[in-house]
Amino acid sequence: MSDDKDFVAGFDSNARKAPVRVAFVTRRTSPQVKVADEDQVMTHPGVFLRVAVAVELLTIALVTLALAWDAPLEGLADPMHTPNPAKAPWYFLGLQELLHYFPPVLAGVLIPTLVVLALIVIPYFNINIQAESLWARDGAKRLRIVVVVAVALSVFLAFFDVWVALVPTVIIAVVMFLAARSSSQSASAMRRWLYSKPLSFWIMTWFLAEAAVLTAVGTFFRGPGWSWVWPWRS
């Protein structure tokens, strides 16, 4: 069906503008206008029942965990005796790992603030909403930009000896290169999929990979004096 119209039919209450009460709702102005209905279920009981079952299963899993595994409790808090290493809760260990490399203002304040701001603004950029393949237009030029950014980032990370953060960066850069060398006609479905991904996908995937790696390193691979330890050689 060829349908390249920039509007859909709808209703308007402004009689002067649309005297026959048929107006043109331009794109992005009304999410509610639909041509055809799709299958629906009643929220009660259709959705509620399934959610209840899901929550039940979660409860069973957590109760089992709580019966099998005790929460840690160490000795009474003692301000005079600092454990080595002193670690933050696991979800902040990525940050603590960054603090090991960068000055506190950068790692403890600037980076977290920028991450939160970046998360908030995601849906307000049209580039993220259209979600067009990164290579759809000016593919060669964009690949050059990506290579420059990846090299600059790698040099920066290497300069501060952040080898653990360099690994995901390089892997993502290589996969991006592979994606740029693919097309929507590639033989492999994997490469077609990679090719179709927009810029926001790559940034988010890089960020999540970094967060996971840094958190894992901070949790399992850091010992006294924040030195590198192998968890299986304790």
Partner 1 sequence: MARSLTTYLDDLRDSRVWRSIFRSGPGQSNLHRALVVQSNVFLHLFSVKARKRVLDFSVTWYLGALTFGAFLILVITGVLLMLYYHPSVPLAYSDMKDLEFVVSSGVFLRNLHRWSAHAMVLLVFAHLAKVFYRGAYRPPREFNWVIGVVLLLLTLFLSYTGYLLPWDQLAFWAVTVGSNIASAVPLLGHHIRFLMLGGNLVNANALLRFYVLHCMILPLAAILFIAIHFWRIRKDGGLYAGAPTTTAEKEAER
In the beta sheet, which residues pair with residue 10?
23
User: Least separation, in Å, of the C-beta of 95 and partner 1?
Assistant: 7
Binding to partner 1 (CB under 8 A): which residues in 197-216?
200-201, 204, 208
Is 78 a binding residue for partner 1 by CB under 8 A? The answer is yes
Long-range contacts of 128-132 (CB under 8 A, 24+ apart): 128/198, 128/199, 128/200, 130/198, 131/198, 131/200, 131/201, 132/198
Pair of tokens at residue 222: 């850091």
Distance in angstroms (rounded) separating the CA atoms of residues 103 and 160: 11
Number of residues this chain uses to bind partner 1 (CB under 8 A): 77
User: Least separation, in Å, of the C-beta of 93 and partner 1?
Assistant: 10
Distance in angstroms (rounded) separating the CA atoms of residues 93 and 155: 24
User: Least separation, in Å, of the C-beta of 31 and partner 1?
Assistant: 4
Region of 232 on the Ramachandran plot (φ > 0 left; ψ -120 to 50 alpha; else beta):
alpha
User: Least separation, in Å, of the C-beta of 130 and partner 1?
Assistant: 7
Q: Which amino acid is at 148?
A: V
Residue 214 has a CB neighbour count (10 Å cut-off) of 22
Residue number with CB closer to partner 1 (15 or 71): 71
Sole window of 1-9, 12-20, 163-171, 184-192 interacting with partner 1 (rule: CB under 8 A): 1-9
List 13, 15, 69, 141, residue binding partner 1 (CB under 8 A): 69
Binding to partner 1 (CB under 8 A): which residues in 23-42?
27-28, 30-36, 38-42
User: Least separation, in Å, of the C-beta of 148 and partner 1?
Assistant: 26
Site string for partner 1, 80-119 (x = CB under 8 A): -xxx--xxxxxxx--xx--x----xx--xx------x--x
